[in-house]
Amino acid sequence: MKPETIPSQQIKVLFLGPLGTYSHQAVRKFVQNEPADLVACRSIQEAVTKGAEDARLGRPVVVMVPVENSTLGIVQEALQCLSDPNLFFANGLSIVDEVDLTVAHALIIRALDSSVSNPLSRIEQVRSHEQALGQCSEFLNQHVPQAQRFFSNSTAEAVSYLRQAPAGRVAAVASELCAEMFGMQVIARNIQKSNANFTRFLVVTNREHDRTVAHTLATYRISRECPGNTTHAAYRVRIPIAQRELWVSAIQQTNFPPWMLHGSVYAHVPHVDDETRSYCWLVFELQQCAGPHGDDMKRYPRLSDAPTALLHSALSLPDEVALECLGVWTKPTVTM
């Protein structure tokens, strides 16, 4: 069923820019043809912080957060945001959905004269986001071992840098779409370690039931409806840093039926004052297991469906341990 048509209001979406990044592609996949106010930010931290400010002021907002790559794992900057006590729960932001994007990297340079026979041998620097460089490390080690590697805030920022660099001396790792947008030359395609390479993006908002946000969510959800979709919930818990290993082990070994741990338990120690640094945040994700007939899993769960009380009981959490649900959502089945 097609979602009800609504007036042409624009949904505000913050993401890691500039235009052409994989975050931008995830946003396009999410909003599809709906009108949207796309706000490109210089970092994931900036996108989430600006989203939290909009939420604090009561303005509907969506933030697209790249959280995990199938090849390289957790995105550290996203983990820092998920662990920040001044973001998410404090401002009413929560995870309501997910966009999974297949990632195919290319090696990109400023266009060279066609007479250059081996452009790879001329490259002195390779620039990109640290996740992209990590996903392509095998190719870079083998084909451009002479090139130094430099981190950029995003893949698109790295491609943009090529405009001021000597032609052929500096390369960027990004998508072919990004190369096309900036008028650059692709000299190698599919350079990532695995062809089954995808990144998970969390859809974060403060107003899931705002008319415009709800309409965009409904349109996106219809486009990726699949029987294999599963229900997930994310949590963070604040614990004394001296007890970190104890609590990581407890979460890994405790059963929460019908829920189970999905992936790893991540620890983040904030770099603030001495008092705050005596504590750390553990961030983890649970996945709900369907019953024998698959009928106990909600199609689009609400925050009230999260197993917070179950977690408290199963882990025997003391009162001084703060447990916060970051969101509950339906995870799409990845199709390559």
pLDDT tens for residues 156-168? 999 999 999 999 9
Q: Which alpha helices (H) appear in 243-303, and where do they start and end?
A: 244-253
Q: What are phi and psi of 235, to 5 degrees?
A: -135, 155
Tokens linked to 45: 């931290």
Helix (H) / strand (E) containing 262: strand 259-268
**Of 321, 233, 329, the residue nearest 281 (C-alpha):** 321
Tokens linked to 172: 């960027």
Alpha-carbon separation of residue 261 from 93, 252, 254, 321 (angstroms): 23, 7, 9, 19
Q: Please, what are the domains in the chain? A: 11-102+197-223 (3.40.190.10), 105-188 (3.40.190.10), 231-328 (no CATH)
The pTM for the full model equals 0.86
Rounded to whole angstroms, the Cα distance separating 103 from 202 reads 16
For residue 139, the model assigns a pLDDT of 97
Residue 115 confidence class, pLDDT cut points 50, 70, 90: low
Q: Which alpha helices (H) appear in the chain, and where do they start and end?
A: 22-31, 44-56, 76-83, 130-135, 137-143, 155-161, 176-182, 211-223, 244-253, 308-315
Q: Greatest CA separation found in the chain?
A: 71
DSSP secondary structure letter of residue 284:
E
For residue 222, the model assigns a pLDDT of 85
For residue 84, the model assigns a pLDDT of 87
Q: Is 225 exposed, middle or buried (0-12, 13-18, 19+ CB in 10 A)?
A: exposed
218-95-264 Cα angle (round to 5):
130
Rounded to whole angstroms, the Cα distance separating 285 from 261 reads 6
For the chain, the average pLDDT equals: 88
Residue 7 confidence class, pLDDT cut points 50, 70, 90: very low
Summarize the confidence of residues 42-60 as an average pLDDT: 95
Summarize the confidence of residues 311-317 as an average pLDDT: 90
Least confident range from 42-51, 208-217, 220-229, 280-289: namely 220-229
Rounded to whole angstroms, the Cα distance separating 117 from 108 reads 16
Residue in the block written with tokens 């979460």? 251
For residue 294, the model assigns a pLDDT of 46
pLDDT top residue among 34 and 245: 245
For residue 293, the model assigns a pLDDT of 42
